[in-house]
Chain A
Amino acid sequence: MSAAADTACPAIQAGLTAEAILALLAPLGGAKDPADRWGLTVIVPREQLRAAMQLLRDGETTRFDLCLDVAGIDYLGYPDWRGPRFAVSYPLKSTVFRHRVTIKVQVDEDDASVPSLHDVWSSCDWAERETWDQYGIVFAGHPNLKRLLNHHEFVGHPLRKDYPCQKRQKLSVNDPMVDQLQAKLRALGYEILEQPAVTPGMPLTQKEIAK
């Protein structure tokens, strides 16, 4: 263990300017989001999201290899808002260059669906599940779009502005997660020959839980 002596990794380089990134995304319909006055946010049409993200990740000059987060936003009740109700923001960063960009897609309430990026960055997998859980935005093509933060008996999407903050929902039995485990085993090449006789895990009927 040495302090930065045997650096296999080159020093960080300057990277692209905001104008250059915008110019790169302009053919895909990318437009600067005026709301972000401090950094660079580019609004990309939903149809072009995957193409734009792949370009940003793999481009020689961009190399945005870290997808830091997937953040949903609900604009219901935002003052003077005329755009679509939901937006999904992806803050990206490069480990090669010193540049950042946030990509944003906007979707309407009645068609709240965004293409999934779980195969572009593996970090998007769970982050998209969280956004689906909290906002009800569907990530088309996601292999396991289950709730992440809230329990599996939860109804509704709590971070939507019309979900009352104090509307509590009780849980009776924890998720046994057998289905997820079996899906994972199948993905690893296993063949399930026999279902477990008793559901493993925690389920126990909780009579008293609902007082």
Chain B
Amino acid sequence: MRVKTPQGEIVDLMTINLGPSHPATHGTLRLFAALDGETIAAAVGEMGYLHRGFEKMVEQGTYQQVLPFTDRLNYCSAMMNNIAFCKAVERMFGVELPERAVTLRVILLELSRMIDHLVCNGANLVDLGALTNFWYFFNPRERVYQIWERLCGARLTNTVTRIGGMYRDTYPGFEQDVLAVVKVIEDAVTEVLGLIERNRIFIDRTRDIGTVGAAEAISAGWTGPCLRAAGVDRDLRKDEPYYGYETYEFETVLGTTGDTFDRIMVRMYEIRESAKIVRQAVARLKPGPVNTADARLSLPSRNQVYHDMEALINSFKLIYEGVRPPAGECYDAIEAANGELGFLIVSDGGTNPYRIKVRAPCFTQWSHYPGMLTGSMVADVASSLGSINIIAGELDR
């Protein structure tokens, strides 16, 4: 394509397509770029290749049936989506969860955050050519999956929470397993940091690449680690604490410039902060119920069902019809691994959700990405794309 540049030169631009099935696009993103030599003159992005109709499908079923769908939003940290959705519905009901359920959710949230960061950074480093780190990160992640399996039977798509609590209590030895795996993850992080933090090649390929400053990031609607990498100290766990996060001791990790290096490092150090939270939460874990006693949400015990007519009816109602949140509209969010994960739920008082809108953190990140590439090199496309952590399931829903 022959063009006249703003400087008045006449050049031939080459157009290339990256994706939608390109290893660096992690599946389903498409980037269409015009190149001037090795520099990207302009790029446009496309999405929707994994649009599976989450928002239409959930209107067809009950609130409980939404949970398996939420697993498949951000499938690198499925439990976070479960918890975020349950928290939003529980907020509509106005129920308080028992202490053990809350602490368990904190442990699961933070472990999910850790493995999400592991996958993101591991894959990002592969894009930069550092394959070894991928194995260093994937082995501890498999160990977390083993805990997930013992906890709920599934490795990836867990559906571990229920509206009003958890699917079930933990297995004996859960605490030891968690503490052991946290140690393994921390070791892996230390090892990888040792390999990359002062590595000339790594620094040259990430420093001042894909820089997004604070003002730009805020206008683009970025949240989470990508926003913190630009030096904006915002974390829902600190700003609008839920699940008692204000009582845990941890720090938010901040970057300075908002380049790829900062984004990778923010994630690395956040893994360590999450490890701190997990340790504190495990220490607090006391025996107790993991579901609320609220009859609108929780199934009665088997014993009650067999001996009490009311409980039997309630059990039938909950299973055949499901829960009925009060009519109205509610937006609720948590700090997910990628940023603010929000659910806008519109209820008509019935058993099926009337409308659920997911506020996916990577949507804003991906929408800003093509613009961010203008003027950068083709070789940096993959590294900066990996560092904003786009998960197609959540992006396209």
Q: A91–B221 contact, CB under 8 A? A: no
Name A's interface SS: loop
Q: Smallest CB–CB gap between A101 and chain B, Å?
A: 10
- For residue B326, CB closer than 8 A to chain A, the reply is yes
In the assembled complex, the Cα of A108 lies from the Cα of B333 at a distance in Å of 29
Per-position contact with A for B19-61: 1 when CB-CB < 8 Å, else 0? 0000000000010111000000111101110010101110110
Q: How many residues does chain B have at the interface if contact means C-beta atoms less than 8 Å apart?
A: 82
Chain A neighbourhood of B329, CB < 8 A: 33, 35-36, 41, 73, 89
Q: Smallest CB–CB gap between A207 and chain B, Å?
A: 20
Stretch touching chain A among B165-173, B174-182, B252-260, B297-305: B252-260
In the assembled complex, the Cα of A184 lies from the Cα of B234 at a distance in Å of 32
In the assembled complex, the Cα of A126 lies from the Cα of B29 at a distance in Å of 15
Q: Smallest CB–CB gap between B9 and chain A, Å?
A: 10
Residue of chain B at shortest CB distance from A184: B42
Q: B326–A66 contact, CB under 8 A? A: no
Residue of chain A at shortest CB distance from B368: A122
- For residue B6, CB closer than 8 A to chain A, the reply is yes
Q: Known contacts A9-B232, A38-B332: does B254 contact A4 (CB below 8 Å)?
A: yes
Chain A neighbourhood of B41, CB < 8 A: 185, 188, 190
Residue of chain B at shortest CB distance from A68: B359
Q: Smallest CB–CB gap between A27 and chain B, Å?
A: 24
- For residue B354, CB closer than 8 A to chain A, the reply is yes
Q: B32–A201 contact, CB under 8 A? A: yes
Q: Known contacts A7-B254, A73-B346, A201-B17: does B330 contact A150 (CB below 8 Å)?
A: no
Q: A37–B326 contact, CB under 8 A? A: yes
- For residue A151, CB closer than 8 A to chain B, the reply is yes
Q: B374–A149 contact, CB under 8 A? A: no
Chain B neighbourhood of A143, CB < 8 A: none
- Partner pick for A123 among B17, B266, B273, B367, CB 8 A cutoff: B367
In the assembled complex, the Cα of A102 lies from the Cα of B92 at a distance in Å of 16
Q: Smallest CB–CB gap between A30 and chain B, Å?
A: 16
Q: B234–A12 contact, CB under 8 A? A: yes
Residue of chain B at shortest CB distance from A134: B55
Q: A1–B239 contact, CB under 8 A? A: no
Q: A71–B357 contact, CB under 8 A? A: yes
Chain A neighbourhood of B363, CB < 8 A: 69, 126-127
- For residue A181, CB closer than 8 A to chain B, the reply is yes
Q: Smallest CB–CB gap between A83 and chain B, Å?
A: 13
- For residue B142, CB closer than 8 A to chain A, the reply is no
Q: Known contacts A1-B269, A65-B218: does B6 contact A6 (CB below 8 Å)?
A: no
In the assembled complex, the Cα of A95 lies from the Cα of B306 at a distance in Å of 53
Q: Smallest CB–CB gap between B6 and chain A, Å?
A: 3
- Partner pick for B357 among A69, A93, A165, A180, CB 8 A cutoff: A69
Q: A123–B330 contact, CB under 8 A? A: no
- For residue A110, CB closer than 8 A to chain B, the reply is no
Chain A neighbourhood of B1, CB < 8 A: 182, 192, 194-196
**B47, B219, B240, B371 — which one has the most chain A CB atoms within 10 A of its CB?**
B219
- Partner pick for B2 among A3, A149, A193, CB 8 A cutoff: A193
Chain B neighbourhood of A84, CB < 8 A: none
Query: CB within 8 Å of B: which of A54-98?
Result: 65-69, 71, 73-74, 78-79, 89, 91, 93, 95, 98
Q: Smallest CB–CB gap between A74 and chain B, Å?
A: 7
Chain B neighbourhood of A37, CB < 8 A: 326, 328, 330
Q: Smallest CB–CB gap between A41 and chain B, Å?
A: 6
Q: B42–A188 contact, CB under 8 A? A: yes
Q: A181–B344 contact, CB under 8 A? A: no
Per-position contact with A for B112-144: 1 when CB-CB < 8 Å, else 0? 000000000000000000000000000000000
- For residue B396, CB closer than 8 A to chain A, the reply is yes
**A69, A182, A191 — which one has the most chain B CB atoms within 10 A of its CB?**
A69
Q: Known contacts A165-B57, A177-B46: does B330 contact A38 (CB below 8 Å)?
A: yes
- For residue B231, CB closer than 8 A to chain A, the reply is yes
Q: Known contacts A65-B219, A67-B221, A71-B344: does B4 contact A190 (CB below 8 Å)?
A: yes
In the assembled complex, the Cα of A163 lies from the Cα of B56 at a distance in Å of 10
Q: B342–A192 contact, CB under 8 A? A: no
Query: CB within 8 Å of A: which of B236-284?
Result: 238-240, 251-256, 262, 265-266, 269, 273
Q: Smallest CB–CB gap between B303 and chain A, Å?
A: 35
Q: Smallest CB–CB gap between B396 and chain A, Å?
A: 6
- For residue A159, CB closer than 8 A to chain B, the reply is yes
Q: A6–B254 contact, CB under 8 A? A: yes
Q: Smallest CB–CB gap between A105 and chain B, Å?
A: 14
- For residue A158, CB closer than 8 A to chain B, the reply is yes
Chain A neighbourhood of B47, CB < 8 A: 148-149
Q: Can you list 24 A-B contacts (CB < 8 A)?
A: A1-B266, A3-B253, A8-B231, A9-B234, A35-B327, A35-B329, A38-B92, A38-B332, A66-B218, A68-B359, A69-B342, A89-B344, A93-B340, A95-B218, A123-B219, A134-B55, A149-B396, A163-B56, A165-B57, A181-B44, A185-B34, A190-B3, A192-B1, A194-B2
20 further A-B pairs in the complex, CB-CB below 8 A; given A39-B330, A93-B340 = A3-B269, A33-B329, A41-B329, A66-B223, A89-B344, A91-B331, A91-B344, A98-B240, A123-B219, A123-B221, A123-B367, A127-B367, A158-B56, A181-B34, A181-B43, A184-B44, A185-B3, A194-B2, A196-B1, A200-B17
